[in-house]
Amino acid sequence: MRLPPFSERRNEPFKIELIADIPDEQVSIYENDGFADLCAAPHVPSTGFLKHFKLLSVAGAYWRGDERNPVMQRIYGVSFPKAEFLDQHLHMLEEAQKRDHRRLGRKLDLFSFQPEGPGFPFWHPNGVLLVNTVTKAVRDILDRNGYLEIKTPVILSEDLWHRRGTGIIQGKNMYFTAIDENSLCRGNP
């Protein structure tokens, strides 16, 4: 395989690290007018193709979800070929925000978060009632259809999240710990 034009000389150690961790797979590279980057999604040949776009947010995330690593800057945005498509998408995002579980949880007094358990909800009576009602309804459906229930740990090996690719994507929403020198985390699977 021909290595892409990433080298120590170009100061791109993260790209080199990513390529080194890909086990005998083909690496897709996007090149345009002297710019080269790893490619996991479609690209356009020119920003001139981005007619109707909006930058949605910026965020920092630790490289590979590890707080000992440098913080990477993420820029989130969307682009559509027609203004009406962009408007529809932005409207959908506004509607989804109105139904955000964190906002509704506070408004309906379902749960809260406390410093003693960062990232873990403390269920209030209304929330416990809701959880139990939904759990019973799901269990009834599963029982009627012959399914058996299992339970998995809420904290799993950090390696699992990296293998699934979610460690990088959801790094800002992950909670890390160590047990017997094993790196573990809880996240949103």
Residues 5-26 as b/e (b if ≥16 CB within 10 A, e otherwise) read: ebeeeeebeebeebbeeeeeee
pLDDT band at 178 (very low <50, low <70, confident <90, very high): confident
Given a contact cutoff of 8 angstroms between Cβ atoms, the answer to whether 89 and 115 are in contact is no
Q: Which is more confident, 168 or 176?
A: 176
Q: Which is more confident, 99 or 166?
A: 99
- pLDDT tens sequence across 157-173: 777 777 766 555 555 56
Q: What is the mean pLDDT of residues 43-62?
A: 85
What is the predicted pLDDT for the residue at 189?
43
Q: What is the DSSP string of 8-69?
A: GGGT-HHHHHHHHTS-S-PPPEEEETTEEEE-SS---S-GGG--EEEEEEEEEEEGGG-TTS
* Residue 151 confidence (pLDDT) above 60: yes
The closest of 151, 150, 101 to 127, measured between CA atoms, is: 101
φ, ψ (nearest 5 deg) of residue 125: -50, -45
Given a contact cutoff of 8 angstroms between Cβ atoms, the answer to whether 69 and 62 are in contact is yes
Separation CA 52–CA 43 (nearest Å): 16
The listed range with the strongest mean pLDDT (3-7, 117-121, 174-178) is: 117-121
Place of tokens 């150690």: 13
The closest of 154, 152, 156 to 182, measured between CA atoms, is: 156
Separation CA 56–CA 76 (nearest Å): 5
Q: Which is more confident, 153 or 4?
A: 153
Q: What angle do CA 103, 167, 138 make, to 5 degrees?
A: 55
Q: What angle do CA 71, 7, 40 make, to 5 degrees?
A: 65
* Residue 44 confidence (pLDDT) above 60: yes
Q: What is the mean pLDDT of residues 140-154?
A: 91
Identify the weakest region by mean pLDDT among 17-31, 47-61, 96-110. 17-31
Separation CA 81–CA 110 (nearest Å): 41
pLDDT band at 88 (very low <50, low <70, confident <90, very high): very high
Token pair listed for 142:
């599963």
What is the predicted pLDDT for the residue at 166?
53
What is the predicted pLDDT for the residue at 148?
93
pLDDT band at 108 (very low <50, low <70, confident <90, very high): very high
Token pair listed for 180:
């017997």
What is the predicted pLDDT for the residue at 125?
97
What is the predicted pLDDT for the residue at 1?
43
